[in-house]
Structure formats: structure tokens, C-alpha cells
Structure 1
Amino acid sequence: MTRDPSGQARSVEDHAGIIARMLEPLSEQPPEETVRLDAALGRVTAEEVRSEVDLPLFRNSQMDGYAVRAADIRSAPVALEVSGDIPAGHTSPVTLIAGTALRIMTGAPVPTGSDTIVPVEDTELVLGRDDDLEGAVVEIRRSRAAGEYVRERGSDVRRGEVLVSAGTRLAPRHLAALAAAGVETVRARARLRVGILTTGSELISSGAPGFGQVYDANGVALAALVEESGATVSVRASSDDDPAAFERILDDALAQSDLVITSGGISKGAYEVVREVLHPRGADVTTVAMQPGGPQATAVVGGVPVFAFPGNPVSTQVSFVVFLRDPLRAAAGLPPIPPVEAALTADLQSVPGRRQFLRGLLDGSGGVAPVAGHSSHLVAGMARADVLIDVPAEAEAVEAGATVTVWTL
């Protein structure tokens, strides 16, 4: 059991620093890959993307209405012959005859010779019908200046200009701009491949639990946390408390992953399968002065970092948020999620000597209230929370009204 020179359990800060240093090589020179646009949501661009076209691609109408010359409608109201129709998607160039109008739809190419669009709301067809413009005449009720409701080519972006900067986490708005410019793929940071291993003979993944069995919540929780942090799950497996069984899934995960996370099997009791297998491989098995999440272990096996968390569901989730979330986000090119301050709205009790991470719920006005109890098995209570209340190790109680640090979940 590793402790600091004073004989005390390792501090949260010290353990977080160890994990951050283990993961630094994965973020200093992150690999890149080419990603299809339809699979690029949430990915972080590895290089800037410049437009190869002007946007809009051509002069087009901003409104349904009539394409005219501003000079011909200066004395509006005025009646003009309708010389044709231009729907969206029209592919043949059209020229406007002076002294006439062309009906035009939104997005349709503006004809040569036209410099303004009159919205349909400012017009009335006085001869002809909407479905038959033969011999039609339209009355333009108000004048328009040159350029009104005309989208000029390149008015959004010019060819060669930056569409998306390097280091951008692609959101739907970015994908829309890239698609509009005809971009089909982007260079993005490759996602770290994370193996997730849960342990315990009591675990089942589905079906009706037998006596003494529980559903494997940690595999689901860790997979979601990994994906949310910009990485991807390479392997997700579970083993019972047989060391040989765990060693098989560990070796498989190591072969396919950039890092591996385990849950369970590292405490001081019997059947601690992760500790049994990792300790001979050089693992640093320790106790961190925190609750929940005290038992922790780290190792590098075959060049792959391994992070072992305790098995209670709340302990596993708290361990990830406190120790792994920001390093994984850094490797993905994402910003950290720093703790913030809030005003405590109810008294709380704490265990002195251990830094507490209690579940809490923000009230929308800068206040936070404790949710559920201290125990690390209260996974439904965790679901009701949206933050962790960070209580210093020396505190035995914190009164309502005090300012506390909270970690966003």
C-alpha cells in the first residue's frame, strides 16, 4: 500500500498529478485520422479547413418574388410584363429584358440584368394566373433599391478563406458550413482507444438476477464517460473473480487500447482479482484520502497505462470525474471542466480526514443542496445529482450559506 512519507494516505492532488503525467504522452503528439463528415460530430479538427468555393456559389434570391431592375420600379406602383419563371434549381442562365419582371423563387439564380428582388408580398398579379404566366402582368407596389434581397456570390465566404479553424470541436453548425462548401472529409484528432474492464463474480449484464447478483452498472457508466470525454471504447468486457479470467480480458484489452480502465478488485479483502494480477506487473496500489473512491491503482503494462478504480458504482464515477476526465479531454483537444463555486443551501456533515465528494443538486440561482447520502452504493442518488460537492478533508461539518467548490457531472 503506497502512502506519502508522513504515513498518510495519498492526497487527491498527488494522485491526480500521477495520472496526468502518465497520460501526457498521449496528448503531446496526438495521432490524426481522416473522418467522413457524417461521422465527424464532436471530433476535434487537426488542421484548419479552407473553402474551395465561394459561398453562396452564385447570385441567388433571398425571397420568393420578382427579379427586376431597380430603375424600372423607381416610380412604383408600376405594372410590368412577366417574361418568365425561375424556380430553385434552374440550371440554365437567364437574362432579364429591361422593363419586364421574372418570377423567382428563394435560392434560384438571379438573372443577368436584374439587380433587385421584390418580395411577392409587395406585388399583385393583375393579369394571368400563378399556374400560367403566359401574358401575365405583375403590379409592383413599392420600389426597391439595387441589391435588396440579392445574395451575392461569395458574400458568406470567399474561396480560400477559413471555414473551420484547427482545434475546433465540430458542432452541427460547423458541419453545415463544411457540407455547404462541398467538404466530404476532415482531418481530426484520432480518438484515444479505451478498454473498460469490470470485475466481480456477482456481476451480470442482463436477465433476471439470481440471489447475490447485481447488474453491471460500471461498464455502462464508464463507457458513457469515456465517449463524453472525446475518446472511444475499444474493448468492454467483464470477468469473475478468477485471476486467470481477468488476466485474459486484460491482455486482450491491452492489445487493442491506448489505455485501460478497470473497476473493482483492488481493495484489501479477499478475491481482489485486479490487485492480484496487476501487483506482480508493477502496479502502484494505494489509498487516496478521499471518499468515495479511496482504493486506487495505476500501472503501465506493455507500455499501456492502466487505471484501476474501486467497484462501487458511485466510487467508479467519482474516480473518473476527479482523475481521468480532464486528462482524457486534453488528449482529445477539448477544454477542461474546472470546478466552480456555489452557495450551500443546507447543512452537511462530513468525515474528517478524508476529502469528501458528495452528490449535490444546483438550484439555478447559484445554490447547491446535498443529494442522497455518503454511501458509495447509492447509484440512484447519483443520478439525481448534477454536481459533486468538494468538502475539504479537515471539515467535519459545513453550514448552509457557506461557499463550496462543486464539480460538474
Structure 2
Amino acid sequence: MNSIMSGCGAEHGLITVDQALDLILQHTQGLATESLELNGALNRYLAQEVYSAINLPLFSQSAVDGYAICAQSAIEPHSEFKLIGEIQAGHSSELQLKAGQAVRIFTGAKIPFGTTTVARQEMVNVLDSTRIAITEHLHANVDIRNVGEEISVGQLLAHKGQFLSVGAIASLSMAGIQNVEVFRYPQVAVVITGDEVASSIEDFAAGKIFDANAPLIQAWFQNAGQQVEVFHVADTEDAVKALIQELSDSHDVILTTGGVSVGDYDFIRPVALDLGFEQLFWKVKQKPGKPMFFAELTRPDRTRCYLLGLPGNPAAVYVGMQIYTSTLLRALQGQKQQPDWFSAVLTHELKMDSRERFLRMSASFDQGLLKVWSLSKQQSHMLSNLMQANCLVRIPAGAALSKGQIVQGLFIH
């Protein structure tokens, strides 16, 4: 057997990345919902459809600064009209136009009854205070925003599961929506295991290292606009068990780093199983991040707590956050779908590996094609290339890739 293919990536019982993601999606139970003011619902997911109670525009209005005109047919150059008044945006008017009449109007103002078209001010000559002349040929119904042309009463504005981005918030606000029903955001506890974390330079003398995982995870959640609780726990079975037991009563997700492999001080998995968690998978055929652990606990009230155990190496944590944590959090909020992979052209060769790899790469468009290239220092204990990386790229297991092949990736922020 090929020595590469018989390495740790060929270990019996490993599941694929897609199988792991499918297990998360199959077993994750959506959370309860809550009603929020729209301006406080950024980055949440709708729990029910939203329908419009109004037309948009609310009324027929001018699309430009100009003149509302009443004419019985198309308007020829040099046609004159009698000016009978002015309507500003935000002001109501009882003016009604008859054939041969016009009114000065501004963008967004309600057009008066009888208007057949609007003339932009740049195609109008003001002859005196009561007369204007049109300088160009003008068709009917020009530069009028008709009532309900964008949205009509009862129209579906947003589906259940819609992500409330900045644009979605703005769109719903314009339609007069003030409150929305959304999935409750998961209560997340982050557990950082290990006695090797340094708190000062002096700790290095004792063989300790600075912690990148807690800042990484906190920043990841901060980028999503969410708060999480972070706990550090010593590498003892009793300490890990006490903390996991406490958190499993109050949190929807326990996210751990380290302690999920087979070392003498890897207590996360045995402790979780001892506390009644059901293992859904352990070990994924990927690099970095093979000893991934996912389990669920059904509480007496039938609600669930999910434990996602990430390996301790920071690159594995980063990959786990971008792919697995994000999938789990979305599933808890009604979004049961795999990550949104893009396709891109690989700009260089890559050697074969027995495991599927996630490489930190840089992506950019070149003559209309999205192209990606790998960065140096890809080892699981290294993070410095994240200064340049803007995507994670999937490299299939057991395949050497050539320049020009199509690969899948995920943009990272």
C-alpha cells in the first residue's frame, strides 16, 4: 500500500467532512423564537414569513425634480403649459391638474391628480412665473413612480430563514416593518482546556505558551455581533467534569478547544460520555482538525445541549470555527444547509494527502476568473498566514492536483 495512503489519514472509522456536516444538520434541533424590534435584529434569522401591509411606493410620486404635467397626448418640443403651483416632498396638496396645466414638483413628492407625465427640470424653460415650455419630446408616464410598483399590499417580503443583513434590515424598514419574529440566538459557552497557557512572558520559563484560541474564538463571535462566555479549565478530569456538567444545564452549545484526542490528559470526550452526552461523531478525515468531537445531551425538559470539541492547535480551531461552528449555529436558527462553497481555479500544483485538507489561501479575480493560491506555513500550530488569507480551500483526499484544476473554497473574514 502507498505509504502516504496508509498513514493516520487512513485510520479506521474516520468520517468525511461532508458526512460530519450532514450529521450536524440532521441532529441539530432548532431553538425557540422571540420577537425583536427590527433595528435590534441584525445578523439574526427570521422564524416566520414577513408580508407587506402597505404598497411601496405608498402613493404615485415624482422620480425627479421637475414639473408634473397634464397633457392629452405626447408632448412636442416648445409646448407651453400653465404653472399653477408647487408641491414639495413630504407635503400634501389638493391641487388637481387639467389639460395644459403643470405644477412644480420635487423628488418623492406625491403627484397631483390629473398628472400624465413628469418633465425633468433640465428639459424645461421657465418663461415667467405662470408659464413653462418643454424643450424636448416627452412621452406619457415618464419619471413617475407608480403606487405599489415595487411592493404591493400582502406581498411576501421575506421567507422564514432569511438572514437579516444590513440590506435586509433596510428593505424591511422601508416597507414599514417594525418588529420581526426570529430564532433565539444560542447561548454559547467556550471552554479552553490546558495547563500550558501563559499569562505573562515569565511563564515561558515553565514551558507555557500564549493562548491564541480564546482571543480567536471571541473575535470570531464578536465579528458576528454575538457575545459568548469563555472559561479556562485545568487538565484534570474532575475540573473538566464539573465545568461541563454545570454548563450543560444552562447553555445550548459548549464549544471546547483541546482535550479531544487520545492523550492522557484529553478528558473532554470521556467526561461528556460519562455525563450522558451521545456521541454523533469523533474524528474526521481532514487536516487540520482530525480529532473533532460532536455530541448531544437531551435534558429532562427535552431541550438539548450540543458539545462541539475542537482540537487544540489554533489552525484547527480556526478551520473548525469557519466550517463546523458556523454550520451548527445556523442550524440552531433554522438554517440547515452546508457552507456556501465557491469554485475557483487553482494556480499551482498540490501534492496528494490521505486526508482532505483545508488550506489557507488568497483568492482574487483575474480576467473574470476567481483564482486561488496557497500560502506558506500551513502547519496546524501556525496562524501567521491569516494576515494574507481570505479563504479556506478544500483539497480532496488522495488526489494530487494540477495547475488549472477547479477547487472549492469558503471566504473568510
Distance 1:86 1:270 in 2: 80
Q: Which runs of 5+ in 1 are unaligned?
A: 1-6, 128-134
Aligned-partner Cα distance in 2 for 1:297–1:72: 74
User: Shift in Å at residue 119 of structure 1?
Assistant: 0.9
Inter-partner Cα distance in structure 1 for 2:341 and 2:60: 49
Query: Contact conserved, 1:195 with 1:256, CA < 8 A, in 2?
Result: no
User: Paired residue for 1:144?
Assistant: 138
Q: Say yes or no: does 1:102 pair with 2:103.
A: yes
Against the structure 1 CA distance between its residues 176 and 292, is the aligned structure 2 distance closer, same or farther, given a 3 Å change threshold? closer
- Report if aligned partners of 1:19, 1:323 keep a CA contact under 8 Å in 2: yes
Asked whether 1:401 is paired with 2:406, we answer no
Alignment CA distance shift 1:55-1:45 (3 Å): same
**1:186 equivalent among 177, 180, 187:** 180
Aligned residue-pair number: 388
Supply the distance in 2 between the matched residues of 1:235 and 1:10 (Cα, whole angstroms).
33
Q: Is the 8 A contact 1:235 1:256 kept in 2?
A: no
Letter aligned with residue 390 of structure 1? I
Q: Which range moves more in the overlay, 305-314 or 18-27?
A: 18-27
Deviation at 1:162, TM superposition (A): 1.7
Indicate which of 156, 159, 177 corresponds to 2:171: 177
Q: What is the deviation of 1:345?
A: 3.8
- Residues in 2 aligned to 1:93 and 1:137: alpha-carbon distance in whole angstroms: 20
Q: In the aligned structure 2, how far is the partner of 1:152 from the partner of 1:250? A: 60
Query: How is 1:248-397 mapped onto 2 (pairs within 5 angstroms)?
Result: 249-272=243-266, 274=268, 277-278=271-272, 280-281=274-275, 287-301=283-297, 302=299, 303-321=304-322, 323-334=324-335, 335-337=337-339, 344-349=346-351, 354-362=355-363, 364=365, 365=369, 367-385=371-389, 386-392=391-397, 394=398
Distance 1:276 1:110, change over 3 A: same
The offset of 1:299, in angstroms, is: 3.9
CA deviation string 1:236-263 (max 9, x = no partner): 3223435555445434432332121100
TM-score by length of structure 2 reads 0.78
Letter in 1 for 2:181: R
> 1:379 offset after TM fit, Å?
1.0
Equivalent residue number for residue 44 of structure 1: 45
| TM-score normalised by L of structure 1 | 0.79
Residue 291 of structure 1 and its aligned partner are, at CA, apart by 3.2
Q: Partner residue of 1:93?
A: 94
CA distance in 2, matches of 1:157, 1:125: 36
SS at match of 2:292: strand
Going from structure 1 to structure 2, the CA distance change for 1:180 and 1:31 (only over 3 Å counts) comes to same
Match of 1:12 in 2: 15
**Aligned residue for 2:217?**
222
Displacement, 1:51?
A: 1.1
Aligned residue identity for 2:403: G
Distance 1:57 1:262, change over 3 A: same
Aligned to 1:69: 70
Counterpart Cα distance in 2 of 1:294 and 1:383: 24
Aligned residue identity for 2:69: V
Contact 1:262 1:307 in 2 (8 A): yes
- Structural mapping, 1:118-157, within 5 Å: 118-127=119-128, 135-157=129-151
1:57 maps to which residue? 58
Deviates more, 1:294-303 or 1:49-58: 294-303
- Assess, with a 3 A threshold, how the Cα gap between structure 1 residues 266 and 48 changes in structure 2: closer, same or farther: closer
Which letter does structure 2 place at the counterpart of 1:138? I
| 2:195 counterpart of 1:201 | yes
Describe the shift of the 1:75–1:16 C-alpha distance in structure 2 as closer, same or farther (beyond 3 A). Answer: closer
Amino acid of the structure 1 residue aligned with 2:338 = P
Q: Are the aligned partners of 1:326 and 1:336 in contact in 2 as well (CA < 8 Å)?
A: yes
Letter of the aligned partner of 2:26 in structure 1?
Answer: E
Classify 1:88/1:305 alpha carbon distance in 2 versus 1 (closer, same or farther; 3 Å): same
Q: Is the 8 A contact 2:346 2:407 kept in 1?
A: no
Structure 1: distance between partners of 2:346 and 2:148: 53
Using the TM superposition, name which of 140-149 and 320-329 deviates more.
Answer: 320-329
Structure 2 contact 43–225 (Cα < 8 Å) conserved: no
- Between the aligned partners of 1:244 and 1:273, the Cα distance in structure 2 is 9
Query: Which residue of structure 1 lines up, in the alignment, with residue 117 of structure 2?
Result: 116
Give distance in 2, aligned partners of 1:146 and 1:287: 69
Q: In the TM superposition, what whole-angstrom CA distance separates every residue of 1:52-78 from its partner, at most 9, and x where no partner exists?
A: 111111121111111221239845413
Q: Secondary structure at the match of 1:44?
A: coil
CA displacement 1:160-219 (0-9 Å, x = unmatched): 1222233332344433332122110122233333322112234368x7774255443223
Structure 2: distance between partners of 1:234 and 1:253: 12
Separation in 1, partners of 2:184, 2:232: 26
Corresponding residue SS for 1:106: coil
Query: Is the Cα–Cα contact under 8 Å of residues 167 and 333 in structure 1 kept in the other structure?
Result: yes
Give the secondary structure class of the aligned counterpart of 1:265: coil
In 2: Cα distance, 1:248 partner to 1:231 partner: 29
More moved, 38-47 vs 246-255: 246-255
Residues 193 and 234 in structure 2, CA contact (< 8 A), matched pair in contact too = yes
